[in-house]
Structure 1
Amino acid sequence: MTTTSPVLQPESGTVTSPAGARAGYLPAMPRTVLWGRLPCATDQPAVTIDPGTSLVIDTVSHEGILEDQGRDPYAFFTHRGIPASQILRDAATVAAEVDHDPSADGPHVVTGPIEVRGARPGDILSMTVEDLQLRCRYGVVSNRHGRGALPDEFPLGGSAETVSILCRVEHDHRAGLHGSMPVAPGSARNVRFPLAPFLGTMGVAVAQRHRPNSVPPGAHGGNIDVALLTRGATLHVPVQVPGALAYVGDPHFAQGDGEVALTAFEAPLRARIRFDVVPAEEFPARPLWAETADLLVPIGLHHDLADAMRQCVRAAVQMLVDRGMHPAHAYAYLSAAGDFAISQVVDQVTGVHGKIRKSDLAELLLPTSGL
C-alpha cells in the first residue's frame, strides 16, 4: 500500500504504470460511474483498453453520500469534524448529479464499464490489483435498515435510524498507518486495527439487457467482498459479453471476514488494475476465483451460507484436480490443510472463500494457462 497525500482529488497526484510510464486514468465522474447498478450487455464503455494494459481508476465510497445520510458529503463529514478541504469533489458531484433510487438500487458506486479489446464470452478476465492508494484519511462503518448479521438486534432498540460511525486513519511511528474508531459515542478512547485496503466490487457485465442491483454478487463477480483482494491479488472472472465491460468499486480501507454490521471501513481508493485476457480454449471452465502471491482462493456464492460453503469446497477440489491431484486426495488435503472463511453474510447472496497455500502444491502439475 502506498499513499501520497491526505487527499487525492480527481486528476491530482501522479498516475504511473509499474514501468514508470504514465498510465491511463479513469476518474469517478457522472459519465464514468453507475450508482446502485452494475453494467449489462447494452452498456457502452467509459474507456477501451488493450489486454495487458494497466489502468488507474478512482473509486468513490457510497458511505457519506447515501440518502439516509443526507446525500451531501460536505454536510455529513464536516458535521463529524472533517474539514471541507478534505472532502472529495467527485464524491460531491456523484451525490448531486448521478441518478439513484434507494428503494430499488443498491448503494454502491462503481467506476466503468471498461472494455477490454478482444475479450469474448467464455474467456477469463484476470483483474490484478497492482496498487491501491488511500484517497483520504477517514471513512465510515454503517449499520442500517435492520440488516447485517443480527438484523433483529441492531440498530439497538429497534431504531430505524442509520448508525454511521466515523473511522480515521492515524499514523504511529512504530506501527505506521492504522484505523481508529471510538469505543462509544463521544468517547476519546479508541480501538485501533490494521489497514488492508481492497475493492469489494470487481467484475464483468452480465449477459442481459437490464443492469443488475449492485448488492448481490454472482458469476459476474460484483460485490464479492473478499478481503484478500489487496495489493498483488488477482480476480479471475469468466467473461459474459464481448469486451468484458469490467468495473470496480465499493472501496474499503479494512474489513473483517463476515462484514457482520453490513459495511466495513468504507472509504475511497485510487486503484491501478491490470486487465489480462485468457482465451477460453486455454483454460478449463470454472467459476470465478482469485489468487494472491501465496494463496489460491476458490469462491462459493449462494443465498444459503451452507450451500455457499459446499460450492466453495467443490471449486477447491476441482482446482486441485486440475493440478494433478486425485479427487479423494484433494478432498482429504483440504480437510487437513485448507482454510475456508466467510467472506460476507450481508449481501443477500452470502460468500465463502477458501485459502490454499501455493507452497503446499510445489510438486503438482500446473494448468497449461499458467493461471
Structure 2
Amino acid sequence: MPEVVFPLDSTRGFADQRIVGHNRYHPDIPAVVEVRPGDEFRVHCREWFDGAIRNDDSADDVRDAPMSRVHALSGPFAIRGAQPGDLLVVDILDVGPLPQEDSGPLAGQGWGYTGIFARRNGGSFLVDRFPDAYKAVWDFTGQTATSRHVPGVSFTGITHPGLMATAPSAELLAKWNAREAALIATDPDRVPPLALPPEPQDAILGSLTGAERDRVAAEAARTAPPRENGGNQDIKNLTRGTRVFYPVFVPGANFSVGDLHFSQGDGEITFCGGIEMGGFLDLRVDLIKGGMDRYGVSENAIFLPGNTDPQYSEWLAFSGTSVTLDGEQRYLDSQLAYQRACLHAIDYLTTFGYRPEQAYLLLGAAPVEGRFSGVVDIPNSCATLYLPTAIFDFDVRPSATGPHRIDPGIGAPHSPT
C-alpha cells in the first residue's frame, strides 16, 4: 500500500482532523504536504457532506443538507517543482470505499447514498418535475450496489472521484468571481440560484487563522461547479487506470481531491446523483514542464479514461429533443433534450411498477450513458440515455407479454419542502 499522506479518523469531523483539508478554492490556502514527481501515495477522502447524511429511511437530512459545508476536500498537495504553465499528470492507481471499514455510520462504511435535492437547496437536473427531497441508500457487496429503496436492480459501480483540481491563481479566482456575480445579478432572487458566490460561513481553509483566514474566506470560490482547474466535473470514467492532465496556475500546483462516488450515471442528474461515499485514492503524480502551451491546454483538464468499467453490452436507449414539457420549441438545446430523454426513461420504468422518484434515483446512480446524438438539425437537438438492461432482475425490454410488474417495496424516503 502506498504511503498515506492525508489520513482521516472516521470518529472525528473533517475540521477536527490532525491534518485539516479545505472546502473552498483560493491560491493562498497552504499545502498540507509536498510530494515529488513520480511519487505514489494514498489519500483518505471524507464523504462530501462530512457525515451529515445517514443510513436511514428519512430524506430530511437531504432536504436540510448543509450546502455551505461542501466539498470536504483532501489537500492541497504541493508538487515539487510545479510552476504555472506546466501540466500536472495524475494517475489514479486505485479508488474505493473506506478501507477495512465495511459497516458504520459514515457513507463509505459498507454503504452510500443518492439524493434528489429540493429546489430551495440547489435543486436537480429535473427540478421542475421533482421539486422535493428524496434519498436512496445503497449497500455495497464487493463492487456491487443494491438498495432497499430501489428494489429489483444490482449493478457494478464505476468507482471514481467526482472532484480533482489544481488551485486557481489570484487572477483566475477574480475572473471566476466576477463572471459568476454577473450571472447572479441577472436574476438575484432565483431559486435555485444561478451560481454560488463566496460564502465565509462554514469555510474550512486548512491551517489558516486570524485575519488572513477571514480575508481568504471572503474571496474564496465555492467548489460546486467545474471550472478551468478541473474541479467538480463528476465524470464517471475517471476511475482506476485513468491518467488526467491538469493545468497548473500556482507554484506547486496545490492539487486537491474528494467527492468519491461508488457509482454514477452520466450527468449526475439528481445533483447528489452518484452513490456518495468516503474512501481512499491511490495516486501517482508527474509534471510536463511548459505543457500548457506545448499542448494547447490552457483551461480544463484532458484525460485518458481507465479500462476497468463494467462491461455491459446490451442497452435500452431513450431519446429526447429540445421541446419543453409545455410544447415550447427551443433552438438546439441539448441540455433540454437530455432532460427529456431522462424523463422518457423514468416514465418507461414506472410501467414496471417503479415510482417516478425511484426511477430517477436509479438513473442518477447506475452506470447509464448519456450522449449528445444530434446537434446540427435545426431546430431540434437530440440527446440519448442508454440504460444497461443487465442491471435489472427481470427483463426490462418491451415485449408482447410485458411489462413485468415489480413490488416497489418501501419506496424512496421523501421530505416535502
Regarding TM over 0.5, the answer is yes
Q: Does the aligned pair in 1 maintain the 2:50–2:72 contact within 8 Å?
A: no
* Paired residue secondary structure (1:149): coil
1:192 aligned to which of 128, 147, 154 = 154
Counterpart of 1:265 (choices 266, 270, 275) is 275
Equivalent in the alignment of 1:250 = 259
Deviations 1:172-230 (A, max 9, x none): xxxxx31112355xxxx442111111000001001126321110111101101111110
Alignment map for 1:136-215 (pairs within 5 Å): 136-146=109-119, 147-155=123-131, 159=132, 162-170=133-141, 177-183=143-149, 189-208=151-170, 210-215=219-224
Q: Shift of the alpha carbon at 1:27? A: 1.6
Residue 299 of structure 2 corresponds to residue 289 of structure 1: no
Aligned residue among 270, 288, 295 for 1:278? 288
Helix, strand or coil: the match of 1:191?
coil
Opposite residue 284 of structure 1, the aligned amino acid is: Y
- The answer for the alignment partner of 1:227 in structure 2 is 236
RMSD of aligned alpha carbons: 2.9
Aligned to 1:174: none
Aligned equivalents of 2:306, 2:221: Cα separation in 1: 32
Inter-CA distance 164–107: structure 2 relative to 1 (3 Å threshold): farther
Unaligned runs of 5+ in 1: 1-15, 18-22, 70-75, 82-100, 172-176, 296-303, 308-338, 343-351, 353-371
* Partner of residue 58, structure 1: 44
Indicate the structure (1 or 2) with the bigger Cα radius of gyration: 2
Distance in 2 between residues matched to 1:127 and 1:239, nearest whole Å:
12
SS at match of 1:32: coil
Match of 1:129 among 88, 92, 105: 92
How far apart in 2 are the matches of 1:292 and 1:64?
Answer: 28
- Residues 149 and 260, structure 1, Cα contact 8 Å, conserved in 2: yes
Structure 2 residue ranges without an equivalent (≥5):
9-13, 59-64, 99-108, 171-215, 309-331, 336-368, 373-382, 384-417
Task: Return the alpha-carbon distance in structure 2 between the equivalents of residues 261 and 294 of structure 1.
Answer: 26
* Alignment counterpart, residue 216 of structure 1, candidates 215, 225, 234: 225
| Aligned-partner Cα distance in 1 for 2:137–2:49 | 10
Report the CA distance between 1:272 and its aligned residue: 0.6
Assess, with a 3 A threshold, how the Cα gap between structure 1 residues 294 and 133 changes in structure 2: closer, same or farther.
closer
> Structure 1 residue 26 and structure 2 residue 6: aligned?
yes
**Code of the aligned partner of 2:124:** G
User: Residue type matched to 1:167 in 2?
Assistant: W
| Structure 1 residues 283-322: Cα deviation after superposition (integer angstroms, max 9, x where no partner) | 3221311113569xxxxxxxx9859xxxxxxxxxxxxxxx
Runs of 4+ in 1 over 4 A off after TM superposition: 304-307, 339-342
CA distance in 2, matches of 1:167, 1:44: 36
CA distance in 1, matches of 2:114, 2:238: 19
Residues 69-111 of structure 1: CA deviation (Å, up to 9, x unaligned): 5xxxxxx33x469xxxxxxxxxxxxxxxxxxx946x3622110
Query: Paired residues, what number?
Result: 239
1:235-246 superposed matches below 5 A: 235-246=244-255
Distance 1:133 1:126, change over 3 A: same
1:140–1:57 distance in 2 versus 1, CA, 3 Å: same
Aligned to 2:362: none
Inter-CA distance 341–129: structure 2 relative to 1 (3 Å threshold)? farther
Deviation at 1:133, TM superposition (A): 2.7
Is 1:110–2:73 an aligned residue pair? yes
Amino acid at match of 2:144: H
Q: Give TM-score, length-normalised by structure 2.
A: 0.52
Q: Is the 8 A contact 2:4 2:44 kept in 1?
A: no
User: Alignment partner of 1:132: what SS?
Assistant: strand
